[in-house]
Amino acid sequence: MAKIEKFEDLECWKEARILVKQVFLEVQDNNKVDWDTQSQIRRASLSIMNNIAEGFGRYSDKEFIRFLEYSSSSAAEVRSMLYVFEDLNFTDLEELKTIQEQLDKTRKLTLGLIRYLKNKKP
């Protein structure tokens, strides 16, 4: 594994960044989605990306893992909210599928990093 020197080098953060853009673009100017719901899904998606960055900045594997777990929890929140979008026909099903796939990719990379850090030899 190449040496990671900044959070921007992390694949899970890069994928989370793509996810945030997808979520923001999906809810902007969407008249079907109320402001509170738009705000909540935006904040939850941002939390995925920002917790990866914040955890990296802690310089301790234990703390980093904790923030990666927060990121994973935020991913579950976004997934739950996407069901609301589906159930209430807030957006196109194909677009939801695209966002869900990006969410899964981001979460899998995050969980993989957690496993790596937990199994890393001191």
What pLDDT digit, counting tens, does each position of 41-61 carry? Answer: 999 999 999 999 999 999 899
- State which CATH number among 3.40.50.150, 3.50.50.60, 3.90.79.10, 1.20.1440.60 fits the domain covering 8-119: 1.20.1440.60
pTM for the full predicted model: 0.94
* Residue 122 pLDDT greater than 80, yes or no: no
Q: Token pair 């997808």 is at which residue?
A: 22
64 in Cβ contact with 12 (< 8 Å): no
Which residues, including other chains, have CB under 8 Å from residue 90's CB and lie 6 or more apart? 30, 32, 33, 37, 84
Maximum separation of any 2 CA atoms in the chain, in Å: 52
Q: What is the pLDDT of residues 15-44, one digit of tens each?
A: 999 999 999 999 998 999 999 999 999 999
pLDDT at 72: 97
pLDDT at 1: 52
pLDDT at 121: 73
